[in-house]
Structure 1
Amino acid sequence: MLPSIFLCFLKIGPVTFGGGFAMIPLIEKEVVERRKWLETEDVADVFAVAQSVPGAVAINSATFIGYRLAGTAGAVAAMAGVLLPTFFIVLLLSVFFLQLHDHPKVEAALFGIRAGVVALICYAGCKIAKTAVVDKTTLGVAIAAMLALFAGLHPSFVIVGGFVLGIALVAWRARLGLKTEAKPEAESEEWGYMMGDGI
């Protein structure tokens, strides 16, 4: 199991341009679809926790996933896999960057990469929304969180606020005798949560 975890993140690490959130579609493909180690909901939870603690999101996410799969040894294997290629790539680039950073082709490549990263993050957001936003209640929480982020609130406070609000909403629904249950992903293909059963 450990070699598989290491090789999986060794494959993901070199192509994670634009920060940790660009990892989401890559992890979705490798960890969820191909290897069946986790569910999409689990990946969303991992990235929520990874964003709320100090450190790089990419390293935190890899470490959490590795730990969930194989304990401490799995965490070390995943972290090593995601770090090693990045370390050597940055080391190599640092040697040549001062000579190449003004080169038109390098500038064009970076321009294209930045645009591609936006698409990756949007795609990942849509995939996670299908499992995280399951009714009108969770849609409202998502909209409130988005507004808070655009207002300049730190992401950590948004995550903590979602945590507290989620507990409060579940307790309130339980008091009203309502069940809080995520719908299967198969039912969210048309994003039916827009007309869901939430409050």
Structure 2
Amino acid sequence: MDTDDLLRRGLDWVARIAPYDLAAVFTLDEDSRLVVRAARGHLASQVRGHRIDLANFPTLREALETRRARAFTEDDHRHGDGDPFDGVLDLSPGHACMVVPLHAAGRSLGLLTLDRAHCESYPQAVVDQVETYGQILGLALDNSDRRVALEHLRAEELERARESDEVAAGYGVLERSVSPAVRAVAARARRRPHRNAE
């Protein structure tokens, strides 16, 4: 299962705990921006690729730093940072909204957000359950990303081995040359990589 499929399944599963109209996983990029990596629900098509600059959302930064989930209130939407999807979705300030940090191995990976058009906050008991689920999802995301990185490293190593075999085959042709000078150059060239590796 690839990472995107893992996230899609994870978002589908969280609906059993907390109903939503939109569930999104934001991952952190190298510029400390949050980027939607996966989204589910009937509003999902409107937010794909959406980016958030953390400098504009202190409450999201706080969630990442404290690693605690929180439900946003109408007051948060009206007088706080606003909603992560302001300007993209037209949700009322009183809509149900939850932000859940994703982390693993001592590093922040991003956020899970849940939104519902219904004007009622998520109960704290539900927030606590989704926070625990977010910890599991963060570990799964980290594990998946590491597996993908290892697969890339393995592919690169196999390519280097293939190139090395091709070079070695070329040395073999030169070492069978009738010219003693060519055979000597080929022998020196074959030994050189070993000295560099040392």
TM-score interval w.r.t. the shorter chain? under 0.3
Larger relative contact order (CA 8 Å, sep ≥ 6): 1
Higher helix share: 1
TM-score with structure 1 length normalisation?
Answer: 0.26
**TM-score, structure 2 as length reference:** 0.26
Select the structure that is richer in strand: 2
